[in-house]
Structure 1
Amino acid sequence: MENTLKIQNLKCGGCANTIITQLSKLDGISEVQVNNDTDEVSFIASSENDLETVKNKLSQLGYPIDGDANSLPKKAKSFVSCAVGRMTK
């Protein structure tokens, strides 16, 4: 099933690269795309459980779903994820 999630802390292509790389590693997730202009992540998940896995992974990377708590540690983690994404392009 196709899903689109609005996320927080998305800043640049480095962020997008990290998100695409990390979500693509998850079982049951495919066709990951990130739109920096709308702060959205789109992907195909094979089940409802996979959708929850994606939400949790995004939060771990520092990109919580819009409306979820966006603590200082999550914001800091997004900067680290961004930097990693820039280095691995």
Structure 2
Amino acid sequence: MTETLKIEGMGCGGCVSTVTKALAGVPGISDINVSLEKAEARFALNAPATREQAVKAVEESGYDVKG
């Protein structure tokens, strides 16, 4: 299943890299595409990963998730 999270606080390529790494650290998340221009992350979510785990990973890396 493809998920999209709206992310606030990203301002550069380093932010994109940080969010990508945070999501990649969650088992079951793959095909990660973080867009600075769209302020969002799109990824494939497979068991055992949950949307809540994805949100937590992004927020723990220092960014706000808005949807």
Deviation at 1:21, TM superposition (A): 1.6
Gaps of at least 5 residues in structure 2 are none
Residues 2 and 48 of structure 1: CA distance in aligned 2, closer, same or farther (over 3 Å): farther
Instruction: Provide the secondary structure at the position in 1 that maps to 2:50.
Output: helix
Using the size of structure 2 for normalisation, the TM-score is 0.88
The size of the alignment, in residue pairs, is 67
Alpha-carbon RMSD across the aligned residues, in angstroms, is 1.7
Give 1 or 2 for the bigger CA radius of gyration.
1
Instruction: Specify which structure has the higher proportion of helix.
Output: 1
Instruction: Provide the secondary structure at the position in 1 that maps to 2:30.
Output: strand
Instruction: Specify which structure has the higher proportion of strand.
Output: 2
Aligned-residue identity in percent: 31
Q: Is the 2:26–2:57 Cα contact (8 Å) retained in structure 1?
A: no
Greater RCO (CA < 8 Å, at least 6 residues apart): 2
Question: Structure 1 residue runs of 4+, over 2 Å off?
Answer: none
Distance 1:50 1:27 in 2: 10
